[in-house]
Amino acid sequence: MKSKGKLQVLQICVVIPAFKVKSQILEVVKSIGPEVQKIIVVDDSCPQGSGKYLKSNINDPRVEVIFHKENLGVGGAVKTGYSRALELGAQIIVKIDGDGQMDTTRISELIEPIVKGSADYTKGNRFFDVEVVRAMPKIRIIGNLGLSFFTKLSSGYWQVFDPNNGFTAIASNELKSIPMSKIDNRYFFESDMLFRLNLAGATVEDIPMPAIYNDEKSNLKVSRVLIEFPLKHARNLVKRIAYTYYLRDFNLASIELPLGTVLLALGLGIGGFSWVTGIINQTETRPGTLILFLTCTLVGIQLLLSFFDFDINRRSK
């Protein structure tokens, strides 16, 4: 009965995946304020022994360290932390990284929309403040622009930016509705979460959050961003459209997308074929062929624009 009482008191829990963050993890944990009742650190088979180092150097009763025998990736570590937080009865679960890039004094701001009931999931966005953006490494700015666009397409949250921001918070009831086993275990975790949240009908809100950049090195490889991420975004886009517009509902947008795609492909096909044939035979394109090409192409583009307009506004507040 005593443990049950403790579970009922617990409301806010912080989950921290730890991998190669030995030099930062202690200060990160110490900076978390009293508004948080539990701190779960998941040592993802860290070669530096981040979890053991933390346990040996802190006596905060809120801290619990979980050790993975083998590396599962940042997503796998977070999911382990999420599962433990749900076991403890947490009502709001905050996820932060262990590298010290997040201002933990802003946890209250991050969870405020969830507390008020206006959002199910909140995430930091480092691009609200122009001065902060100027201080960011240029490669991160360029990378975020591309990743944000792909994430908007695949997740359906067109109002969300900075998708790989690891400063997030989620209501426990919403977390329970998501099939955690299907979410990516690696660096695609945050983007995959947004995709699953959309399917669950969750309300997501961006919160302005500056990042803190020191001399830390990212474990994310460029090859993953350039090859793996676009493929996974494409997969999620196809799934989202199939679930949203054909399995769960059927509306005008459900017709506009395939019809627009077929007409655009037909128009471009006719135009391309006529262009190549004209070059080979040294002949001019017939007016009828030109009209057919333009009509199919323009109508196809218009239908696709109409579909995306519907998709963008579907979750507008």
The full set of domain ranges for the chain reads: 2-221, 251-313
The share of the chain scoring above pLDDT 70, in percent, equals 91
Contact by Cβ (8 Å): 162, 124? yes
For residues 22 and 51, give the distance between their C-alpha atoms in angstroms, rounded to a whole number: 8
Lookup result for tokens 């460029």: 222
CATH superfamily of domain region 2-221: Spore Coat Polysaccharide Biosynthesis Protein SpsA; Chain A (3.90.550.10)
Segment 150-175 mean pLDDT? 93
Average pLDDT of 106-127? 93
Confidence (pLDDT) at 41: 98
Does 182 score more than 70 pLDDT?
yes
Question: Each residue of 224-246: pLDDT tens digit?
Answer: 667 788 899 999 999 999 999 99
**Above 90 in pLDDT, residue 1?**
no
Mean pLDDT value across residues 194-212: 90
pLDDT range class, residue 202, cuts 50, 70, 90 = very high
Both tokens of residue 239? 């799934």
pTM: 0.86
Dump pLDDT digits (tens) for 2-48.
344 444 445 999 999 999 999 999 999 999 999 999 999 999 999 99
